[in-house]
Amino acid sequence: MDLLRFATAGSVDDGKSTLIGRLLLDSKAIFEDQLEAVESTSQSRGYDYTDLALLTDGLRSEREQGITIDVAYRYFATPKRKFIIADTPGHVQYTRNMVTGASTADLGLVLVDARQGLTEQSRRHAVLLSLLRVPHLVLAVNKMDLVDYDQATFDKIHEEFTSFATKLSIPDLEIIPISAKLGDNVVKRSENMPWYDGQSLMHHLENVHVASDRDLVDTRFPVQYVVRPKSDEFHDYRGYAGQVAGGVLKPGDEVVVLPSGLTSKIAGIDLFDHEITEAYPPMSVTVRLEDDVDVSRGDMIARVNNAPKPSQDIDAMICWMTNEPLRPRQKLAIKHTTRTGRAMVKDIQYRLDVNTLHRDQDTKELALNEIGRVQLRTTVPLLCDPYSKNRTTGSFILIDEATGVTVGAGMINSGS
């Protein structure tokens, strides 16, 4: 069954967690005892309705403040599709959490309160989703019940956001009026908004086409593990396990192993306990080669005439995720696909103001939750592509070697 990953974003109290609770409830993806617990908690707090946000806000501090802090992942399915939801926080001080949750998303769902209209945070979240190259964006105009389902209110927000989106890289945009609390246009079309002739949110999520978003041209297979069973049944078996990051792999294809440059042909592709005729993103498979070439973790298998160029000088956009600022000459560990090494910050070119898109070229450092363009020099060559071309081979994380904490997430512009 097809899988859709989507991330929610929006200002505080726009109703993200309530919307996810409504999706889970109306698609019958929660158990009766879960619903009873939420109803009981809502009644004990004196609410005159069932607070569906309690289904996703799991931390005690989240429930007490009525906000989302951590990224909450929820899984559900309909007869048409499986879903993974990343419920990301709206506060500006949790930008790093939103970047984490949206980095693997196929679709970004931005909520706005119909009473408030577009806010600075709404625009910031749209900018971040654009930077992260999330290919599909849905603007859900929530709480339409509190503006009496007024078409003029929706049209004003629609026009304002459409105009703003022209400045961003958003290939696919859908704008839907909803009420997460009452269920209008969430799973079923609402009778309260006859002026809206579009689809419900669930219908869009079930039918949005994501297969073509993946790079099926440039073959990229980062090797994660060398499989050597050393058993009587598989006496001479040698395979290379990993997740296909791009292109299509087939038995008989001529490939090159990087960075060594050794060439061979694919002898077979194994999935669990059987052989398959092709592999494509995001399948996890084991590839066998005809020749006994030297391949290890961190290497990459690619097509001979379409291989990434090994790069040690990296130009990237970085989201900084720790209290200690990022400064020039700083040394950090870097992890790119399955390859690890060390990197030094050569230069910080500018800090990006995600609210105005202004580039501050006078900045000397990047603070917590800030995003900027940075030049890195790595100790090992990275087998990378531009992030705009491949989100897997175009991204990396930076790690503090002393603590092992992930301190930055990067999106590669180019390498040389």
Asked if domains 220-303 and 310-415 share a fold, the reply is yes
- CA-nearest of 284, 217, 245, 210 to 384 is 245
Task: Provide the CATH number for the domain formed by 310-415 in this structure.
Answer: 2.40.30.10
Residue 301 tokens, joined: 């298998």
Decide which of 3.10.180.10, 3.40.980.10, 3.90.950.20, 3.40.50.300 is the CATH code for 3-212.
3.40.50.300
CA distance 164 to 293: 52
- CA-nearest of 345, 314, 338, 339 to 407 is 345
Helices (H), 166-301: 201-207
The predicted structure's pLDDT at residue 36: 67
CA distance 138 to 124: 15
The predicted structure's pLDDT at residue 270: 95
Q: pLDDT below 50 — which residues of the chain?
A: 58-69
CB 406 within 8 A of CB 398: yes
Determine which helix (DSSP H) or strand (DSSP E) holds 347, and give its type and residue range: strand 339-352
The predicted structure's pLDDT at residue 11: 73
- CA-nearest of 119, 113, 109 to 181 is 113
Q: Quick one: CA dihedral 154, 99, 393, 367, positive or negative?
A: positive
Determine which helix (DSSP H) or strand (DSSP E) holds 333, and give its type and residue range: strand 331-336
Residue 403 tokens, joined: 């603590």
CA distance 365 to 371: 10
Domain map (residue ranges) of the chain = 3-212, 220-303, 310-415
Angle, CA of 26, 4 and 223, to the nearest 5°: 150
Q: Which CATH class is domain 220-303?
A: mainly beta
pTM over 0.95: no
Q: How many CA atoms lie within 13 A of 285 on its CB side?
A: 27
Residue 246 tokens, joined: 């791009």
